[in-house]
Amino acid sequence: MTRHIVVMGVSGCGKTTVARRIAALTGFAFAEADEFHSEANVSKMHGGVPLTDDDRWPWLRSLADWMAQRAADGQSTVVACSALRRSYREVLSEGPPSVTFVHLDGNLDTIRQRLSHRRGHYMPASLLDSQVATLEGLQPDEPGIVLDVDLPPGTLAQLAVQRLDALR
């Protein structure tokens, strides 16, 4: 049976770094959700305009399809994706047989500092507040764990793998 993990949280929380490390530890296929955005979505975000739900639905469906295709091939996946709302996570969960979420959450000052040092990304730090306002944390009936962004990425990846294995 395949496993599918979505590392979620606001921009700058370390999703990509942690998801890549989880993929390295597990051998799962990795995907960066930002690479699935349409050019129109990227242009909006680059211009400092928050995405609407209508902008996000096709993007989320394409990620769910990517995971489902890998599952059909017997391959497990790990995806770095903001997945800010429960409804977004529900769309992601429609693809593969099951999805487990790793929510990187914590101190906004830490996240703001990381964003201020990030270069070459189309998501400006100015959109962090809109992401925080949109964020709906994992609910008790959603499969997943919450980890503190103040921990080093390697520790976060190891904790994620250990705690997700315990959930099986």
Average pLDDT (83-106) is 95
3-state secondary structure the chain: CCCEEEEECCCCCCHHHHHHHHHHHHCCEEEEHHHHCCHHHHHHHHCCCCCCHHHHHHHHHHHHHHHHHHHHCCCCEEEECCCCCHHHHHHHCCCCCCCEEEEEECCHHHHHHHHHHCCCCCCCHHHHHHHHHHCCCCCCCCCEEEEECCCCHHHHHHHHHHHHHHHC
Q: What is the pTM of this model?
A: 0.90
- Which residue shows structure tokens 């979620």? 8
53 has a pLDDT exceeding 70: yes
100 has a pLDDT exceeding 70: yes
Residues 6+ apart with CB under 8 A from 153: 14, 17, 18, 21
pLDDT, tens digit (0-9, with 9 covering 90-100), for 31-44: 999 899 999 998 88
How big is the CA angle at 37 (ends 142 and 113), to the nearest 5 degrees?
A: 75
Higher pLDDT, 129 or 40: 40
Q: How confident is the model at residue 156 (pLDDT cuts 50, 70, 90)?
A: very high
50 has a pLDDT exceeding 90: no
Q: How far apart are CA 20 and CA 153, in angstroms?
A: 10
The domain in which residue 10 lies consists of: 4-167
pLDDT at 127: 66
Paired residues of 147 in beta bridges: 104
The CATH number for 49's domain is 3.40.50.300
Report the domain count for the chain: 1
